[in-house]
A and B are shown apart, each in its own frame.
Chain A
Amino acid sequence: MNKKFIVLVVAILCAVMVFMSCTQTPAAESSAAPAESSEAPASSEAVASESDDAGPDYSAAMDKSIGYVLAGPDIYYEQSFQVFEGLGKDLNWTITKTSSDYDPKKETNNVQDMIAKKVDAIVLCDVTTDNGAACAKLANDANIPIFFITTLPDLGGVGTPTASCSGPWYQNGVNAATWLLPQAADPANPKFVLIEGAYGQSTIELQRLGFLTYLSEQLGKTVEQVFEDNIVYNQTGGWMTDGAMNVMQDCMAKTGGDFDGIFVGNEAMTNGVRKVLETAGKDNVYPIATENGYEETWEEMKANPDLKMMVDQIASTAEGDLVFQQVRAYFAGIDFPKFVKCPITPVTPENVATANLLPYKDAAAYIALAKEGKTVDLMTTPDTSGDNPDWRSMLPLNGAKSS
């Protein structure tokens, strides 16, 4: 009886695996490849004929298998993926998505698995820059192109990325400081709070570096002096709303609310920060600079012209679009800018009505615009490979003002 039960459980488990794999559309498509590829020539010919008239020939980029490795569960990464996947459908790409859960060893495992799966390309949003470089080496050794997204890859590391599209994090920091400084009670001696994202990815370090560098130029100090004199609190909220709430509460307790403005690493954390300020009766008292570009934030800005907020639009949907174009160009054998940054647009209540706003949470709307050519064009995006400041100098400052 026990032996039968054990065999039954194992059999059920195996049956569930088979069932799940059969119901998975990309796997079903790939397993039915012979029939579907015989139909594919019509669509690829259509693509070819259209592209003959309208531009490059992407027929060589059809029917590819892509491994997409996210750093962890975050709407930013997810939106990039959704746009990448949506645009990839037109080229009949089979995309396997996996997440590293912010675990470096899991990231290495995921990249190894994609190599074992013999994908045609890997897209990686790395957990940390150094682990990402090691993963790039794995892909290099396997002769599989690896494209980085969101985070800045280490161009001098042990592995060589094929291409990347990262966020313009340094510029975001500069923009935030540019907007916040004039609003300080004493612009010659401002006090700011930094609510930061996950450390070690280079993202937050570049944001901070840009922020401090701009202030150092305006105040005639070194970056270290600015951090010492003018940053009253900095700590990571882990990119999450609840994390930022805890950090902001600690900040209010430590500083007593004596600061001029807040630079928050992303909008999810901004939501947490604003909840805390609202509870403390300080809603819309402190100017807040942040980035992402949620659709509801634009609506709020339009409805409330007095809102003290600046949001740098760094739409992850555009990142997914640019990386898709890079991968497509790579397979088509077309030369393309290898290391680009996502477009950035500072948006405030003053210019929200006229700014070129891209869909962020609505991936379907973005994809529709992308197919009409109304989003971003890789070929006109500058290659910024030589334009990345050394962010590692920021590492010792991670969380330094929170104790």
Chain B
Amino acid sequence: MNKVKNEIQIERPPLGKRFISSDNTYLLFGLIAFIFIVSLIAPNFATPFNFSILMEQFAVPGIMAIGMCMLMISGGIDLAVGTQLSFISCVMALVVKDMDTAIPGIAIGVAVCIAGSFGMGLLISRTKMEPFIVSLGFMAIYKGLANITTNGAEYPIPGKMGFATDIRWATLPLMVYIMIAVVIIFFLILRFTRFGRWLYAVGDNPEAAFLSGINVKNFKLSMYTINGALVALATVLMLSRNEVGNPNLGVDLEMRAIASAVVGGTALAGGKGNIIGTFLGTIWMGIISNALNIIGLSSFFQYVVTGCIIIGAVLMNQIRYKNE
């Protein structure tokens, strides 16, 4: 019995070799090189203060990128996360402002957010509609709802729920620790649980996953619901940071989430991706704007540079997977 067990054990390469061959390693080394070079040009870049604000700036995009990464691994996508955040922030801010306390607003906003994502997941999992198209429709719906809620303006709630940035340990605000916790939790889930294995199976080959006993429809529904929960968390943190519910608060966040996942090695076709790579991709997407501002270059260059990074990362992944 032991002999049989030993024979079927898969031999994993040594840790060092795995580290060298991992895509994440090159993302990490590239990031370190980038930080080093920018620090030479602009000494104010590599300071504890700048790193703390950087972490604060990509806490929300990071959480949304984690959700997007998992969705994309499962073969789905959600273009509505940005406008969804905008709408939910307006709802939360409206309730907080009316009731003069944060808890009911947060509870209602989270419930509405998850319900919305559940509804979209239901449509996608139960019909043959393309996730891209369905989420595009929801994107427009949320945008309209956000503007209807605020009549085109915004709901300021100063001093009502600033906990995400007011509470700090070692100069880092609470929202950064929450983001780190999300990254760790979902890294462990995807790496060590059956749920994680199902995620890759469903994304890689839904038919084979179904035949192996996975309820693919319910699994996809659960992915959209989980993503909705992460968007709700991101909204709470964003609203806590800015303390204003605004119809434009979530502008571009969906593209940033997708770009972060793609740069981190997540395949648009599904079946491939990882949390650490997505986290590094989030850092790449967020650090460019900050670096350009610190250097003194026009921020309009950031779009060019960001686009180059996305294309370069996808190209590298394509070449790598082609050779494999």
Could you list which residues of chain A lie within 8 angstroms of chain B, going by C-beta atoms?
1-3, 5-7, 9-11, 13-14, 16-18, 20-21, 24, 26-27, 30-31, 67, 94, 96-99, 101-106, 108-110, 112-118, 127-128, 130-131, 133-134, 157-158, 199-200, 236, 395-396, 398-400
Contacts and interface: CB of A to CB of B under 8 A. Distances in A.
A77 to B, nearest CB: 13
Interface in B277-293: 289-291, 293
Contacts of B125: none
Given A116-B44, A398-B153, A134 B244 contact: yes
A134 B158 contact: yes
Given A108-B242, A131-B154, 19 more contacts: A2-B323, A10-B29, A13-B34, A21-B42, A27-B41, A30-B296, A96-B296, A98-B293, A105-B60, A105-B242, A110-B293, A116-B49, A117-B293, A127-B248, A130-B156, A133-B158, A134-B158, A200-B154, A236-B152
Contact of B33 (A2, A14, A31, A199): A14
B320 A2 contact: yes
Interface string B222-261: 0000000000000000100111101011011000000000
Contacts of A114: 293
Interface string B7-33: 000000000000000000010011001
A10 B38 contact: no
Interface residues of B, number: 56
24 contacts: A10-B26, A10-B30, A10-B33, A10-B34, A13-B305, A14-B33, A14-B34, A16-B305, A17-B38, A17-B295, A17-B305, A21-B42, A21-B295, A24-B296, A94-B296, A112-B53, A112-B56, A113-B290, A113-B294, A117-B296, A128-B246, A200-B246, A395-B151, A398-B151
A108 B26 contact: no
Interface stretch (B65-73, B203-211, B308-316): B308-316
Nearest to A394: B153
B299 A110 contact: yes
A24 B249 CA distance: 32
Nearest to B20: A3
A4 to B, nearest CB: 11
B6 interface: no
A102 B248 contact: yes
A9 B312 contact: yes
